[in-house]
Amino acid sequence: MPLLDIVDLRASYGSRTVLERISLCVEKGEIVSLIGPSGSGKSTLLRVLLGLLPLEQGIVRFNGRVVDYADKAAVSALRADIAIVFQQYNLFQNMTVLDNVMITPSKIRRWPREEALRHATELLARVGLSQKLDAYPDELSGGQQQRVAIVRALALRPKILLLDEITAALDPELVTEVQETIRDLSADGMTMLIVSHEMGFVREVSSRVVFMAEGRIVEAGAPQQIFDAPLEARTREFVGKIPRHPAPAGHQP
Amino acid sequence: MTYYDLRLLLDGFLTTLILALLGGLAGCVIGFAAALLRNTDSRAMAPVRAALFVYCLVFRRVPFLVTLMLIFFASQSMQANLSTFAVAAISLALIAAAYLCEIIRGGLASVHANQWQAARALNFGYWQTLRYVIVPQAWRVILPPTFGFLVMFIKDTALASQIGVMDLTSAGKVLENKGMSAPLVYGTILMLYFLMSYPLSRLGKRVESRHAVTRHR
């Protein structure tokens, strides 16, 4: 039984349909990456899954149960099991690193404070931020902020993590730092649904890659298939534009 | 200057102070509540939002004196038997609430939308998001214009003298009518108004500097 099973999903912004006939499943422990041009609906899909945008049509099954997005309790339970990390980190600017991680378990989910604190400090130690517990987000580098955001998403022990272009706002050094954290999570068997334009990283970590364009899934398959031998012309066109080799040093176009 | 003259000044001073405090505090509370309600986005709240929108629209555009007269004559025609002080206090609260509502609403709107988004993804409710995330970040934007408004507001209470409230300005008029030197009387009144609003400015500066650290991207 897949952990996440999406069947024939459709979503719109007003009268404009942005996702259509999306069917996708994610098995436990799998890392599925969504790639495709900007505006193809990848981020929208993540938001619909969390109930941040309305699901117009289709079925989302999580852990074998159909999610009823009109049911507040069901959505609340879903948001404990599915967590998202945003491109711009979206850390709460008025809270310290520790409070950013602790607030959801302690204030929203009413865990005992000690347990929330212990869990938060453990998670922050794992990503090497034990020295920064009392820092505010604007005192951290982008990479550090993004690692805090990842930890904040992990605070409720979610079953699946959605990553929405989490390295797109970072410089190359910081990208490596954040990718390292994702590799660690992957080694721990974390299930992830990733939206990314970092094709090298996608190829390396993904169990499956899904290519999307104009709100639809064009092609899905193993990374080798999508990147080396795509079946669809639209996929070929997209992956054909990925630079294969870094330009030689000193060469300026 | 007799004991009674001094008494008149002191009573006037206290009346103005209490009017400003009552109006200002009520205005802050009502304005804050109105701003939170206007910030909602559910369809069920749409009539409330519309009503508050019109309220802010009207009361920020009508001269204070007109509002004062309106409440005064409305209370008379309803035989409400309100004292002129009560009429003045209600008018002041209504006006302060309208202005402060806009100031606070602006402050809430200044917090980046991604903060709402993050909170929602973590299943914060509307009020939880406001309490833990939005309001703490909005203070920085809300406080300076609020103190600016309140300083202005203290002076505006002088219009209450127009419906016969014995405030500081009225006390000045009475003393002048008794034949005291106008420059002396109004000089004293000026000092007393200054005495009321200066500490407020200082307080404003202190509170603002405590919230001045930018925690926003």
Domain ranges of chain B: 3-210
Task: Categorize the per-residue pLDDT at B213 as very low, low, confident or very high, splitting at 50, 70 and 90.
Answer: low
Residue among B115, B132, B217 whose CB faces A107 most closely: B132
- Check residue A253 and give its pLDDT: 47
Q: Provide the edge-to-edge strand list for the sheet that holds A191-195.
A: A82-85, A160-164, A191-195, A31-35, A208-213, A216-221
Which residues in chain A are contacts of B130 at CB distance < 8 A?
none
- pLDDT by residue (tens digit) across A97-152? 999 999 999 999 999 999 999 999 999 999 999 999 999 999 999 999 999 999 99
* pLDDT tens-digit readout, B68-94: 999 999 998 988 888 999 999 999 999
- Contact residues for A185 (Cβ-Cβ < 8 A; gap 6+): A150, A154, A161, A192
Q: Contact A92/B214, CB-based, under 8 Å? A: no
H-helix or E-strand spanning residue A176: helix A172-187
Q: State ipTM.
A: 0.90
pLDDT (0 to 100) of residue A173: 87
* Chain B residues with CB-CB distance to A46 below 8 A: none
In the chain, the amino acid numbered B210 is R
Tell me how close the Cα of B115 comes to any Cα of chain A, in angstroms.
6
Q: Which two tokens stand for residue B92?
A: 């002041």
User: Domains along chain A?
Assistant: 4-90+159-239 (3.40.50.300)
Q: What is the pLDDT of residue A248?
A: 53
CATH value of B3-210 in 1.10.10.60, 3.40.50.2300, 1.10.3720.10, 3.90.79.10: 1.10.3720.10
Which of 98-117 (B) contact A at CB < 8 A? 112, 114-115, 117
- Output the pLDDT for position A249: 53
pLDDT value of residue B217: 42
What does pLDDT average to over chain A? 93
Q: Do A152 and B122 touch (CB under 8 A)?
A: yes
Q: What is the mean pLDDT of each run of 10 residues along chain A (253 residues)?
A: 95 92 95 94 95 94 95 95 95 96 95 95 94 95 94 96 93 90 94 94 95 95 94 93 64 49
pLDDT of the residue at B216: 46
Work out whether the CA dihedral A109, B126, A48, A89 comes out positive or negative: negative
In B, residues 122-141, which contact A (CB 8 Å cutoff)?
122-124, 128, 132-133, 136-137
Chain A residues in contact with B122 (beta carbon < 8 A): 79, 83, 103-104, 108, 152
DSSP string, chain B: --HHHHHHHHHHHHHHHHHHHHHHHHHHHHHHHHHHHHT---GGGHHHHHHHHHHHHHHTTS-HHHHHHHHHHHHHHTT----HHHHHHHHHHHHHHHHHHHHHHHHHHHS-HHHHHHHHHTT--HHHHIIIIIHHHHHHHHHHHHHHHHHHHHHHGGGGGGGT---HHHHHHHHHHTT--HHHHHHHHHHHHHHHHHHHHHHHHHHHHHT-S----
pLDDT band at residue B173 using 50, 70 and 90 as cut-offs: very high
Give the minimum alpha-carbon distance from B140 to chain A in angstroms, rounded to a whole number: 11
